[in-house]
Amino acid sequence: MSRTYSAIRPKQDRVYSGEQVIELYEICRNTLGNWIASGLRPSDDRLPRIFRGSELARFHKERRGTKVALRRGQFHCLGCKACVFPDVTTLSFSNTRSGSRFANATCPDCHATMWKILNETDRDAFEICKESNTSLSSLDEGNAQAPACIGQDQGESFVSCPSPNDRLLLDWQAWAARYDEKTIVAHLRAIRQFEASCGYKPFDSVTTDDAAAWREAITVGKPKVLSVSTVQHQASHLRAFFAWLAKRPGYRALLPVPEYFELPRRFAQKGISDVKAYAEIDEAERLLEAMPKATIKDRRARAIFATAYISGLRANALITLRLRHVDIEKRLVFHDGTELRAKNGKSFVVNWFPRTETFQAVLLDWLEEVTRRSLRSEDALFPELRDLEKASVSERAPFAPMKSANAVTEAFSLACRDCKEVYSPHSVGHTLAQLGDRICRTSEERKAWSLNLGHNSEEVTWTYYGKVTDMRRGEIFKVFEQDQPATSIEKDLMLAYHEHLLIRGSPEFDQAEKLIEQRRQGRMQWPA
């Protein structure tokens, strides 16, 4: 088993306790101790140890580097590709035929055998360490390959500045655990950026001047880098954090600080927003029909694309569906917030949307195929391809859903490969909202349609989804020019004319005759 830990990516702004690091990397406590001896820097010297996510990422990236010069006492393990200090008790020495001396040791992570050719100086030092049972890390005088505050690593942005606020942020993370993970990450990013702008000073010494300086920098200094929405969200996150902090014992002096994150009034003014592109239901159907279906990967992509329009689920919820969440007979999808990666943990039942019969046929074909491949009710509806190959094994654990929603994004990219516009999975909500706006006749139907999209109110559906594009608005106004609907006043005037209530020759009589003539010529519609 490879122990490079390359698939584990800690959040760089998050703070991890020692227990959380052990759980995240699935290691023992001794391994964590070896990492600290090998150069992993805790946030401070206090116990229990805590670690910043960016430091964990930096440490493992450095250990996996094959072109990095080894520090004195380090070995390069060919098994896990890490640069490690082995346990001195596993150290032994041998000679080559040419007389060169080399050392053998066991990797503390993957337990592979390592060897290293020694010069005279290293040989003596290694022997002394073995005799005195002293760690080989003691031979490295610096004991840290890179000094603190080195800036950003190319491509990964591993910030290595020490922070005096990490333990405080660990407490905030425990309080904020009720939020979605993405929400926590966004808050931490804003907090870390503010912390850097203050020179990494402790939060208990933050003043209103610091908050005002940050507001000035983000609203004046970077008008072309950050969008208005980003600035608004960052200010909101910092207000919420310092409001929480001011309630803690010893931080009451921070009570005035949250008010200084209020943005200038111009940030509350909304400009002309761009309507996000979305496909109408007929266009989405044509995209589905054009998708390839030669391989099982292609058919899985078609089923993902089709299920999105049948259910209107978000990408993360869609990819975490299991077979038992789909009821074929009743045409239902169960959005279980306790099992799916769902926004805000909502749970509701989705009726398959009407006018999606073509999409439903693709989903039914996929369910029939995976059933033939021996998938069971507890298996993921869209499992990994390698799981599909071993589905017929009698004794196996249920296939877990994919860890990311990349397969959903890839399915939409495949569907739009020949289009000028590439629609995102999120655009499905706009498509279905527009469809509902066209076929719903009563307020009760509109309410049911909104609930089926998982929205708490109709206002959410019609405010944020199914907006009228500029092109569509132009088409509607052309219809207005051709077929002018009568207003209620004009309708009353025409009724009064037919009931002989108007005086011949009066302005009202002449206007009513003109309206009736327009209606006879088909240029005016009776209002609904």
511-525: per-residue pLDDT in tens?
Answer: 888 888 877 776 545
* pLDDT band (50, 70, 90) for residue 459: low
Residues 6+ apart with CB under 8 A from 322: 339, 377, 378, 379, 380, 381, 398, 401
Residue predicted with more confidence, 514 or 253: 253
pLDDT at 421 over 90: no
Q: Name the residue ranges covered by the structural domains of the chain.
A: 15-139, 166-268, 281-439, 484-525
DSSP, collapsed to helix, strand or coil, labels residue 293 as: coil
Confidence band of 350 (pLDDT split at 50, 70, 90): very high
Q: What phi and psi values does residue 292 have, to the nearest 5 degrees? A: -70, 155
For residue 453, name the pLDDT band (cuts at 50, 70, 90). confident
Q: With cut-offs at 50, 70 and 90, classify the pLDDT of residue 250.
A: very high
Higher pLDDT, 61 or 431: 431
Crossing angle (nearest 10°) for helices 281-290 and 357-372:
40
pLDDT at 144: 41
The pTM of this model reads 0.60
Whether the Cβ atoms of residue 413 and residue 422 lie closer than 8 Å to each other: yes
**Residue 335 region by backbone torsions, left for phi larger than 0, else alpha for psi between -120 and 50, else beta:** beta
* More reliable by pLDDT, 96 or 34: 34
The strand pair at 50-52 and 113-118 is best described as: unpaired
- The pLDDT score that the predictor gives to residue 333 is 94
Least confident of 105-109, 127-131, 159-163, 225-229: 159-163
Please report which confidence band the pLDDT of residue 158 belongs to, taking 50, 70 and 90 as the band edges.
Answer: very low
C-alpha 516/C-alpha 104 separation (Å) is 103
Q: Helix, strand, or coil here: 94?
A: strand
Q: Looking at per-residue confidence, does 200 or 98 come out higher? A: 200
DSSP for 447-507, written as a single string: HHHHHHTT-SSHHHHHHHSSPPPHHHHHHHHHHHHHSEEPPHHHHHHHHHHHTT-SPTTSH
Q: 273 pLDDT exceeds 60?
A: no
Structure tokens at 475: 């088409």
Average pLDDT along the chain: 83
DSSP 380: B
Whether the per-residue pLDDT at 67 is higher than 70: the answer is no
Percent of the chain past pLDDT 90, that is, above it, reads 41
Better pLDDT: 139 or 28: 28
Q: What pLDDT does 485 receive?
A: 56
527 pLDDT higher than 50 = no
pLDDT of residue 149: 43
434: confidence class by pLDDT, cuts 50, 70, 90: confident
> So what CATH class is 166-268?
mainly alpha
Q: CB–CB of 170/50 below 8 Å?
A: yes
Most confident by average pLDDT, 61-75, 315-329, 435-449: 315-329
Burial 66-77 (b: 16+ CB within 10 A, else e): eeeeebbbbbbb
When computed from its CA atoms, the radius of gyration of the chain, rounded to whole angstroms, is 33
pLDDT at residue 39, rounded to an integer: 85
Residue labelled with tokens 């975490």: 320
345 or 42, higher pLDDT: 42
Query: Phi first, then psi: what are they for 78, rounded to 5°?
Result: -80, -15
> Which token pair is 215?
């507001």
Q: How large is the average pLDDT for residues 181-199?
A: 93
> For residue 160, what pLDDT band results from cuts at 50, 70 and 90?
low
Largest CA distance in the chain: 126
Whether the predicted pLDDT of 351 surpasses 90:
yes
Q: Is the pLDDT of residue 153 over 50?
A: no
Q: What are the pLDDT digits (tens) for 9-48? A: 899 999 999 999 999 999 999 889 988 988 899 999 999 9
Would you state the CATH architecture of domain 281-439? Orthogonal Bundle (1.10)
> What number is the average pLDDT over the span 424-439?
89
Which tens digit of pLDDT belongs to each residue from 373-405? 989 999 999 999 888 888 777 788 899 999 889
The band of 181, judged by pLDDT with boundaries at 50, 70 and 90, is confident
Q: Where are the alpha helices (DSSP H) in 91-165?
A: 120-132
Q: Prior bond to 354 cis, omega within 30?
A: no
Task: Please report the pLDDT score of residue 344 as a whole number.
Answer: 67
pLDDT value, residue 481 = 46
The position carrying tokens 């069971």 is 376
pLDDT in tens, 43-60: 999 999 999 999 999 888
Q: What is the mean pLDDT of residues 108-117?
A: 83
Confidence of residue 145 (pLDDT cuts 50, 70, 90): very low
pLDDT of residue 80 exceeding 80, the answer is no
Alpha-carbon span 462 to 446, nearest angstrom: 10
What does the alpha-carbon distance between residue 393 and residue 73 come to, in Å, rounded to a whole number? 47
* d(C-alpha 247, C-alpha 345), whole Å: 28
pLDDT bucket at 234, cuts 50 / 70 / 90: very high
Residue-level pLDDT at 505? 86
Report how far Cα 282 is from the mean position of its chain's Cα atoms.
29
pLDDT digits (tens, 9 = 90+) for 277-300: 888 899 999 999 999 999 999 999
Give the pLDDT of residue 176. 94
Residue ranges of E strands in 306-421: 326-327, 332-335, 348-351
Q: Could you tell me the CA-to-CA distances from 5 to 9, 26, 401 in Å, in that order?
A: 8, 10, 21
